[in-house]
Structure 1
Amino acid sequence: MKILNFHTAIFVLVALMFAAPPEAAFAKERTKYFIFFRDKGEGNSLQKLQSKLSEASKSLSPSALLRREKTSAGENVTYEDIPVEQVYVNALENYGIEIIHRLDWFNAVSAYLDQNQLNAVKNLKFVSRIEPVKKLPLKGMPEEAANIASNPAKFSSDRYGQSYTQLAISDVTRVHSAGITGSGVKVGILDTGFDWQRHEALKTRNVISEKDFIFNDNITANEAGDATGQHNHGTYVFGIIGGYKDSVMIGAAYDASFMLAKTEDVRSEKHIEEDNYVAALQWMENQGVDITTSSLGYNTFDAGETSYTYSNMDGKTTIVTKAAELAFSKGILTMTAAGNEGNGAWFHVIAPGDGFNTMAVGAVSGDDSVASFSSRGPTYDGRVKPDIVAQGVFVYGTRASTDDEYLFNNGTSAATPIASGIAALVLSVHPHLSNVQLRSILRQTANNSATPNNYRGYGLLSAVRAIEFPTIEQQGFNFMMHKVVVDSIDRNALFYMHFNVDNRKDSVLMTLSGVKYKAAIPSFGADQQVKFRFSYYGEDGSYRMYPRKGYLNFNYGSTDVRTTSVSNVTLGFLINQNYPNPFNSGTTVSFVSAFKDDALVEIYTILGEKVKILHAGVINSGLNEFIWDGRDDAGNPLATGVYIARVKMGTDIQASKMLLLR
């Protein structure tokens, strides 16, 4: 396997604390490892830590910071953003070690080590542990493209060609007709490579950045050393979400901006390596990506390596799942294929689709029947998966190594770009949405949301229902209601928002701008439950109500809108940032709940190890506070580092990062 290093110069500066490298010749056979460091060179100095955080903020794009503001509760730059300590990297390079990726989020690097280097690194004081980078045999689609490419689509339209059915089943074509096409949203695609500059449906798309994490360059199409079919799968996927050739095919969110990451190696070894995925997510996040979509899946590995087991699909074990969850915590909507294991012995969803917040996408056919190959849930700890489904059978996409050819194929990796495209459409018309709100809307408006199960999750996505779902935007101390109407209506109609608070009713006339109605929400008591609905009065005497029956509701001060009919979707609480933060002797973990209910409040390390149960039992409606003294369940003081406060109510989980300084 060809490896092109990140570093072409060898640093010679080594602190006195590091042992001298062995003089014996290193063994030739090398294996890739994760090397985790004990710290980031901050020691016990709060001033030094703050200086490093300030420097880390300079590496983040303005769009990344803006995206983080929607979910960060004021803490835009965190410990994970601090680069790995350069002195430690220099010391490793002095042993002749080739650093492949710097993984700041995990305070680690990946590198190839021979046995002598491995033995030396194990004894370095700044190294906390070393783990092999697992390699996954690359799996193809459930059916080879050559077997089905010549089959005709069941439906077509003059504009969409043979891509019509896969979009129409989720109402994407109706949304496009309203002028909503994904503009203003940054979508990151992680895949095998992208032959986009050649193909007629891709070369006009807005690709704002691309990177090859296999050879460490900026070429994502095939290059010297690649297998002939290296860029095939990624090119196909890119067409599904972003392609545009009028009367031939149209992608789900063709006007979005795209970041392309080549992470999967399909040469003769057929390996996908975990560190490429982590590095690509980190790269995309720093540039301000809004949504990531990937077809990667990790469960069984090469002979001689320890494979993951079903018990590892618990949302907190695999490094790719941890990376996807970290990306989500920074405001990215992370979406990934559920896997094509439904007909196999594994059967279940695979990492990183097992993540608590990462959306695993299953596959259905054109009649909304679950595909037999689509991986099922639950996760090992009992959560519903997949989250949602889209068409993944007989999906039309772009063919690599051609100027104007297309193909049909099957797989959850064909469904995922459609689902991700729908997410981009929603965000493009509601740019104020956080990833938490966007994920909630996609699940609440899917067609199985009332009875989610482990075959289709919350159901088939509808771009219309998701976009028309009302959203709340906080503007300082005020709140604005947004309601989109996708299909054409009488622009002179009257559109009202009706409130019901403790049987006190009120109505507000909304104003129309484009396809969106807006109105300021009247002030209510803090955390007061507000029921609401909408009415439409046309000049022709027509009248409509939304929803047709009952009310939607929210708690004043929150931006989470709930449907009363949706079961198993708990949206009635919001975790706060702990205070003080950073802390030493103790800190307060708090959250606001709309209901009196059972809740589990736990503390985890940044690597997913549970260290403390703060509360397990009934909590009150309103503010709930719990003090943590920085000790584990056994009463032992914990070391300096980042910890996660996690609150679980029903199936909904929210988390907040904390920094303990000893």
Structure 2
Amino acid sequence: MNRILLLTLFVFSVYTNCRAQSNPRYLILFKDKKNSPYSIEKPAEYLSQRAISRRNRQGIALTTADLPVNPAYVDAVRKTGAMVIYTSRWFNGTLVEASDSQLKAIKELSFYKGTELNLPVANLTMPSEGVLRSAAVTHKFGTTEDIDYGNARAQLALMQVPVLHQRGFEGQGMIIAVLDNGFVNGNTVGYLKALRDENRIADTHDFVARDGDVYNDGSHGLNVLSTMAAYDPGRMVGGAFKASYALYRTENDDIEAPYEEITWLLAAERADSLGADVINSSLGYNTFEGPFNNAAYNHTYADMDGKTTIISRAARYASRTGMVVVTAAGNEGGNSWRYITAPADVDSVLTVGASTYDRSYASLSSVGPNAAGQQKPDVAAVGVGAIIGGISGNVSSGNGTSFASPLVAGLAAILWQAHPELTAQQLIYALKHSGHQADRPDNFLGYGVPDVVRAETIIEEQFTPLGTEPEIIGQMALSPNPTQKEISIAVPAALAGKQASFSLFSVSGAKYWSAARRLQTKEMIAIADLPSGIYLLHVMVENQEKTFRFFKQ
């Protein structure tokens, strides 16, 4: 684990099984971050360069919420005898196990502000029957040979994802964080071999058991991951099969408790610190189990206003850092609850409902609006008969918004790869308004199933007002994007040999480079020495001009 991620976690492996704890757990909140050794002016001390760059290219300023918790406060809490488990910079607090006397001592500290919920968030001394909130009802088609690449491709083709794949946008350089119940056998199944062999597992952490292993608990997360990351031609290929992934276990199948909302918060903070671009969360919360199944803990529909529950507040923070947060609407459509679950109620989160392959509403899918009256879900994707990978390396099908959500998350990652100049919220806007029912959105499918071609038209028309592009120069193409060392400009034959001028600018207008030369059919421009960020390359040929946007990693 690198030094930056260590600053977001205070992990003490005194206990490795949450059911064996001897004292309740509390999320203790602090009044401020005064006298902190960290500052907004030195973000590299607590955020990765990727996280900083993600904010910079979207014009997102750092705030005190980004600062780690004051270590002196954490030390003072520890001196009461309470066990410090994790800290939360967004909530400005620390998760502890504490006895009654230790909790009393904490409350007497001068910087103590309060306790989240004013109650324990976990006291898991015994297991109960687990439930899968947004989980899938799965079945096998028979043998793995019954499902070929064509079947797996259909759920992507519905959104025209192959259009981006054909242009080389397969997730390269993007990081998707997956928050779920675990990834059993993710370190061995064949359809993730390329992910492992190419060292694209960027980070892992088990926030529930804290045993350092995300591959020994829970199959639901593996099913979800497969829809994005699988690469097994002829059997299954995911939507962003060249992306990197951070795998975080936040869900405990033994019991449904408010603690899982806090582990989600902690995982989202870690994803932010890592520099993740997209979060997928196929989880949702409304009621709890065991000692937490009462009015003090259970959520009501009125709580689904996007800003009340712990997990929804955490998702709002995550969105404000410039990540695209994609979450399942929930599978409550046929139940008495019926509505979306948290954090699907958050306005800035991309909430995904379930559709059939003919883009019809799937009756299991939770409906909106949220309690504030905002239309939800935002979009939809295949959630009935979705193609997923299993723990034995098999390929099967499943039902649920759990699988619709990562299909959209994978699309979001590669569309953002193709258009890195967009902000997270601009990308969400384009995806929403590309839906098949964008002219008549509702609280069942939102704007409908996104479409890559429509989304790129929206991006071109609304977010790319760059110069004039007569027909011939408009055929010029820049690749790769994002890039690290150089860019290539493909020049149409009709322009080869003509005199051209090139100018390279930052998005702020500062000129980095200019040159004039006769065009070849492929122009190579070295950019390895440029700092990370978004740049504009302006090309002028006679009376024609074109401006390219690209992202230097």
> What is the TM-score with the length of structure 1 in the denominator?
0.63
* DSSP-derived class of the 2:81 partner: coil
Match of 1:109 in 2: 94
Are the structure 2 counterparts of residues 435 and 391 from structure 1 closer, same or farther at C-alpha, using a change threshold of 3 Å? same
Partners of 2:342 and 2:227 in 1: CA distance: 23
Match of 2:107 in 1: 122
Q: 1:431 aligns with which of 401, 409, 420?
A: 420
Match of 2:192 in 1: 202
Q: 1:417 aligns with which of 399, 406, 410?
A: 406
Match of 2:373 in 1: 382
Match of 1:355 in 2: 346
Are the structure 2 counterparts of residues 378 and 133 from structure 1 closer, same or farther at C-alpha, using a change threshold of 3 Å? farther
Displacement of 1:470? 3.2
Deviations 1:435-487 (A, max 9, x none): 0110111011111111211011111111332234334899xxx964799xxxx
Moved more, 57-66 or 296-305: 296-305
Partners of 1:380 and 1:270 in 2: CA distance: 23
Contact preservation (8 Å) 1:68, 1:331: yes
Match of 2:242 in 1: 255
Matches within 5 A, 1:133-152: 134=121, 138-139=131-132, 144-145=137-138, 148-150=139-141
Partners of 2:468 and 2:54 in 1: CA distance: 19
Displacement of 1:393? 0.7
Are the structure 2 counterparts of residues 467 and 256 from structure 1 closer, same or farther at C-alpha, using a change threshold of 3 Å? farther
Partners of 1:353 and 1:166 in 2: CA distance: 22
Match of 1:219 in 2: 213
Are the structure 2 counterparts of residues 35 and 387 from structure 1 closer, same or farther at C-alpha, using a change threshold of 3 Å? same
Contact preservation (8 Å) 1:186, 1:288: yes
Are the structure 2 counterparts of residues 386 and 90 from structure 1 closer, same or farther at C-alpha, using a change threshold of 3 Å? same
Q: Which amino acid aligns with 1:203?
A: K
Q: Which amino acid aligns with 1:30?
A: N
Match of 2:51 in 1: 64
1:179 and 2:172 matched? no
Partners of 2:407 and 2:434 in 1: CA distance: 16
Q: Which amino acid aligns with 2:11?
A: F
Aligned length in residues: 452
Q: Which amino acid aligns with 1:447?
A: H
Partners of 1:348 and 1:363 in 2: CA distance: 13
Displacement of 1:108? 0.7
Matches within 5 A, 1:228-377: 230-267=217-254, 269=255, 271=257, 273-305=260-292, 306-377=297-368
Q: 1:88 aligns with which of 63, 67, 73?
A: 73
* DSSP-derived class of the 1:125 partner: coil
Contact preservation (8 Å) 2:134, 2:283: no
Name the Cα RMSD after superposition: 3.1
Contact preservation (8 Å) 2:133, 2:330: no
Match of 2:23 in 1: 30
Are the structure 2 counterparts of residues 143 and 355 from structure 1 closer, same or farther at C-alpha, using a change threshold of 3 Å? closer
Contact preservation (8 Å) 1:314, 1:355: yes
Match of 1:495 in 2: 471
Partners of 2:163 and 2:10 in 1: CA distance: 47
Q: Which amino acid aligns with 2:428?
A: R
1:7 and 2:12 matched? yes
Deviations 1:7-41 (A, max 9, x none): 369xxxxxxxxxxxxxxxxxx85222110001113
Q: Which amino acid aligns with 1:81?
A: D
Partners of 1:415 and 1:218 in 2: CA distance: 29
Contact preservation (8 Å) 1:193, 1:234: yes
Displacement of 1:255? 0.9
Contact preservation (8 Å) 2:46, 2:67: no
Q: Which amino acid aligns with 1:282?
A: E
Partners of 1:311 and 1:282 in 2: CA distance: 26
Contact preservation (8 Å) 1:186, 1:256: yes
Are the structure 2 counterparts of residues 69 and 515 from structure 1 closer, same or farther at C-alpha, using a change threshold of 3 Å? closer
Are the structure 2 counterparts of residues 481 and 282 from structure 1 closer, same or farther at C-alpha, using a change threshold of 3 Å? farther
Question: Which structure features the higher share of helix residues?
Answer: 2
Match of 2:455 in 1: 466
Match of 1:619 in 2: none
Match of 2:477 in 1: 513
Match of 1:54 in 2: 41
Partners of 1:414 and 1:303 in 2: CA distance: 28
Runs (4+) of structure 1 exceeding 6 A deviation are: none
Partners of 1:418 and 1:482 in 2: CA distance: 35
Question: Which structure features the higher share of strand residues?
Answer: 1
Partners of 1:320 and 1:141 in 2: CA distance: 15
Larger Rg: 1
* DSSP-derived class of the 1:54 partner: coil
Partners of 2:256 and 2:365 in 1: CA distance: 22
Deviations 1:249-294 (A, max 9, x none): 0001111111111111123x35561111001000010111011101
* DSSP-derived class of the 1:36 partner: strand
